[in-house]
Each structure stands twice: as C-alpha cells, then as structure tokens.
Amino acid sequence: MMFWYGAHWMWWQASLMWVGMIAFWGLLIWGIYALISTAMRRPGDQPGGQQHGGDARRILDQRLARGEIDAEEYRHLRDLIGSEQSGRPVSSGTNS
C-alpha cells in the first residue's frame, strides 16, 4: 500500500495548512495591536471612553432615588463632581 504515491498533497492537507497560516498571522497581528493600544492608553482613560465622573454621577442618582440624600445635598454633590471633571476649583459658597 502506497499512501503517498506521487508525493501529491491531498486537498485537506493544503486547506489545513492555509487555515493554520491565516490563524497564526491573524493572532500575531491582533497581539501586536493589543500591545500597542494598551501602551498608548492614557492613565485616566477607561475602556469605552467613559470617565470616572460618569460612575460617580450614576451612584449619586441612585442614592437620591433610594432616599439616602435629599435634593439639596444631591445638587451640592453633583456640582462638586462636575467641577472636578472640568478641573476648576470648587467654591465653598461663602464669601471671605
């Protein structure tokens, strides 16, 4: 019995070689892209482009909805969160 008579490649051997090569190069390119994008990310960035203030605002909204804080305290904390995001100093509300 001669399985490799004529030394010709079977169709499944050639297709398996192509699939393996495409998978290898795809994984290699994806890995390089992941390394570069991770290295270029700024420290304050979060995936999806959402900043920390969005989470704080959401938690503040939930506390107001549960009744843990009143409307006046909610407005004060919301202004405090907004001023931290914009980078301007927070005023205490009193004139000195």
Q: Cβ contacts of residue 45 below 8 Å, gap of 6+?
A: none
61 in a structural domain = yes
Structure tokens at 44: 């304050």
Is 5 domain-assigned?
no
Tell whether 11 is covered by a domain: no
How many domains does the chain contain in total?
1
Task: Report the predicted TM-score, pTM, of the whole model to 2 decimal places.
Answer: 0.41
Per-residue pLDDT tens digits of the chain, which is 96 residues long: 455 666 666 788 889 999 999 999 999 999 999 999 999 887 666 555 555 557 888 999 999 999 999 999 999 999 988 876 655 555 555 554
Residue 75 belongs to some domain of the structure: yes
> CA dist 17 to 4, 13, 14, 21, Å?
17, 6, 5, 6
Dist CA 21 CA 55 (whole Å): 43
57 found inside a domain: yes
Q: For residue 81, tell me if it sits in a domain.
A: yes
7 occurs within a structural domain? no
User: Residue 80: which domain range?
Assistant: 51-86
